[in-house]
Amino acid sequence: MKKNYNIALVGLGNIGSYLFNFLMKNKNYLSNKNNSNFKIAYISAKSKNKKRNFKIKKKQWINNIRDIVTKKDIDIVIELIGGAEGPAKKLVFNALKNKKHVVTANKALISKYGDQLSKIAERNKVNLEYEAAVCGGVPIIRSIKEGLIANKINRIYGIFNGTSNYVLSSMDKDKTSFQETINKAKNYGYAESNPKSDIDGDDVASKVKILSCLSFNSFLNKNIHVEGISEIDNEDIINADKLGYKIKLLGFSEILNNRLFQRVHPTLVKKTSYIASVNGVLNAVIIDGKPIGKNIIQGEGAGPAATTSALVSDISSILRGNIKYPFAISNDKRKKFKTGKISDLYFSSYIRLNVKDKYGVLSDITKTFSRNKVSIKRVLQSPYKNKKNSSIIIITHSSKDYHIQKTLKTLAKKTYIIKKPKLLRIENG
């Protein structure tokens, strides 16, 4: 006799609805593949009477989310409410405490409370699965935990947010302004009505924090440098293009001298590099490890279809049995790393200065760089038409970020500087 699992599905937005239909349609197929049966025994969501393209049986519906975790006949809770706090947090904590397996797509929750949740899951011998929380349909979590288990990862980075990647690639392709492009993304459904966390880097930061745990067997670490893309404009895109680069919002996590460095920032990457070719809403993860070398996984990072692919892989993993550690290793074996600051890292950088066209400006700028131990590789000066000022683009040789930031602070005070100097770091890997 095959084992039977009862599922409670909580949250019926785009993703919850897509998942429900998918599970119904593929019930036999998934039961065969995983050698056990499942049933969506219970459903709970905000509104019972909303129009939906499927029927919910009366006995499936649970009005009060709180009643789910105490139901004895539930084996798996799928949380699709979202948000690090409130009902999602309560549901997941209480489900694990009541020895239910949990599947969630909630990156905010996992990146904030993952350590605590993992301890409860381990103690109660249930699974906490969250493949859908990082890069949607890209099976990155399972790959790190299983396919690449042999590897000592030293660096993981990539494009972890589809909305911001869509915006940057569209600005590059269509030469539209940042605001126009955001509006277009909203129209196409590639950006939420409030895309703040996609644009300001916070969404990527959550994913970086989770990937750090899995890659380095560490606990979650809050120390992360985060910059978003809202200050990127067409001029930067065109400058980058002239210099042989594209601009991408990248997340990085790496171990250097036994310290963990986590960072998210718009980055110049060589046009001919693999990462430059990842456009639109695609996500890509690049893993540097031993013995594997470099491994790339690319796919759709968001949307109900890709998210469902990830959720179903999580559900299947539970259906196949075996208790897995949420972060790939038991909590007592996880490490606490000291963190390093971005200012200690070395980058070749793109610096954009808007200056008054005055005699001696360039000479003063280059002097300022040299005084701050930053050596210049390339200068691109273009006067703005009909204006008495110009844009100066400087590409530096690899320099300590601390010195570059100090240079910019000094320059910011100069009377010939019109706008706050802009810094974009270059990734040569």
The catalytic site residues sit at: 207
Q: Is 133 helix (H, G, I), strand (E, B) or coil?
A: helix
Among residues 238, 328, 376, 380, which is the contact residue for its own copies, using CB under 8 A? 328
Residue 380 binds to its own copies (criterion: CB under 8 A): no
Interface with its own copies, residue 312, by CB under 8 A: yes
7 binds its own copies (CB under 8 A): no
Whichever of 313 and 339 has its CB closer to its own copies, that residue is 313
The conformational region for residue 284 under phi > 0 = left, psi -120 to 50 = alpha, else beta, is: beta
Whole-number minimum distance, CB 288 to its own copies, in Å?
11
Taking CB under 8 A as the rule, which mask of x and - marks residues 92-131 in contact with its own copies?
A: ---------------------------------------x
Least distance in angstroms from the C-beta of 300 to its own copies: 5
Amino acid at 88: A
Return the exposure string of 185-210: e unless at least 16 CB atoms fall within 10 Å of the residue's CB, then b.
beeeebbeeebebbbbbbbbbbbbbb
By CB under 8 A, residue 293 contacts its own copies: yes
DSSP lists the bridge partners of residue 393 as 352, 380
Coarse DSSP helix, strand, coil percentages of the chain, rounded to the nearest 5 percent: 40, 25, 35
Q: Report which secondary-structure segment, H or E, holds 349.
A: strand 346-356
Residue 103, CA distances (Å) to 125, 130, 168 in order: 14, 6, 32
Residues sharing a CB contact under 8 Å with residue 39, sequence separation 6 or more, in sequence order: 4, 5, 6, 7
- CB atoms near residue 233 (< 10 Å): 15
Task: Quote the least distance from Cβ 190 to its own copies, whole Å.
Answer: 14
Interface segment toward its own copies; rule CB under 8 A; list 6-14, 68-76, 200-208, 325-333: 325-333
Residue 220 in contact with residue 115, Cβ under 8 Å? yes
By the rule CB under 8 A, 317 interacts with its own copies: yes
**In the complex, what is the shortest distance from the CB of residue 306 to its own copies, in angstroms, rounded to a whole number?**
6
Q: Which of 137, 162, 195, 340 binds its own copies (CB under 8 A)?
A: 137
By CB under 8 A, name the binding residues for its own copies.
Answer: 18, 22, 26, 30, 32-35, 131, 137-139, 142-143, 146-151, 274, 277, 284, 290-300, 304-306, 308-309, 311-313, 316-317, 320-322, 324-325, 328-330, 333
